[in-house]
Amino acid sequence: MITIDGVSRTFGPVQALHDINLEVADGEFLALIGRSGCGKSTLLRQVAGLDKPTAGRVLIDGEQVRAPRRDVAVNFQRPALLPWRSVLDNVMLPVEIFKWDKRENRDRALHLLETTGLAQFAKRLPHELSGGMQQRVALCRTLIQNPRVMLMDEPFSALDALTREELSMELQRIHIETGTTIVFVTHSIQEAVLLADRVAVLSARPGRVRQIVDIAIPRPRSFGHNAHLEEVAAASAELHQLLLENHLPPAPAPQRNR
Ligand SMILES: Nc1ncnc2c1ncn2[C@@H]1O[C@H](COP(=O)(O)OP(=O)(O)O)[C@@H](O)[C@H]1O
Ligand SMILES: [Mg+2]
């Protein structure tokens, strides 16, 4: 369980986050959505232990996060592969860093590459692969850690729409199979509705949790025609409205007669 407890973060005069309170249950898929600059990445970095809150704290299983943890993996918008290492050696990187058994994990790495359609590319270098394939390699590198928690910061946003759909479907499959807890930052309503159990909508800066929307649509979910089009449309419309209202100036305080 992840507990975000009264987290605020300021950078000099800029207040990026204000008093964020959120809980993410084990196995839950939480999407964080909000306009650009509202503090999504900053919030994810607090959970990852890559930055310290100015106030409040983050707990994972009751333990305060003060540094990156081995059981928490982070994926960024750019796949951040090492260009001189083969696809397989990139996937094996955590195994080397954590000094895990190489032979055993090599088989796992090959299996992960196979399940993500990359088996023939194991010996290739990252630059020989498309952006979507590189992001798949990054996903395999995360999965080989068997993380309890995956923190993903707009991992598919640099990809074209169809590749993004494919990778979202893949992530959904992985989440269903592994039950990993996932916090997924996105500005795509479509991705949030496809993937999440709950969507936390952040307000414009300073980021606060504006609302949490439950997405109670059975899995597996799919894009395009499916049996739950009405629920998908309703959830999307609600998120759309919440994000749009973010752009409006604050409503004037109601006039009261005293
Ligand atoms: N290291 C930093 N130093 C100064 N300001 C920062 C830093 N990181 C983020 N910010 C500011 O905090 C706000 C939130 O940024 P960010 O979390 O990247 O937003 P998002 O990911 O939602 O687009 C922005 O105004 C950004 O300029
Ligand atoms: Mg960001």
pLDDT at 102: 95
pLDDT of residue 22 exceeding 60: yes
**By alpha-carbon position, which residue is closest to atom 5 of ligand 1?**
11
Find the residues whose C-beta lies inside 6 A of ligand 1.
Answer: 11, 14, 16, 34, 36-42, 205
pLDDT at 248: 58
Higher pLDDT, 4 or 157: 4
pLDDT of residue 106 exceeding 80: yes
Residue-wise pLDDT for 225-248, tens only, equals 888 999 999 999 999 999 988 665
Band of pLDDT at residue 66, cut at 50, 70 and 90: very high
Q: What phi, psi does 171 have (nearest 5°)?
A: -65, -40
All domains of the chain in start order, with CATH: 2-71+148-245 (3.40.50.300), 81-146 (no CATH)
The encoded tokens of residue 161 equal: 């729409």
Q: Which of 95, 132, 87 is nearest to 114 (CA)?
A: 87
Q: How far apart are CA 110 and CA 108, in angstroms?
A: 5
The encoded tokens of residue 34 equal: 């909000």
pTM greater than 0.75 (yes/no): yes
Average pLDDT over every residue of 88-99: 94
Band of pLDDT at residue 206, cut at 50, 70 and 90: confident
Pocket test for ligand 1, best of 7, 9, 11 (most atoms within 8 A of CB): 11
Band of pLDDT at residue 204, cut at 50, 70 and 90: confident
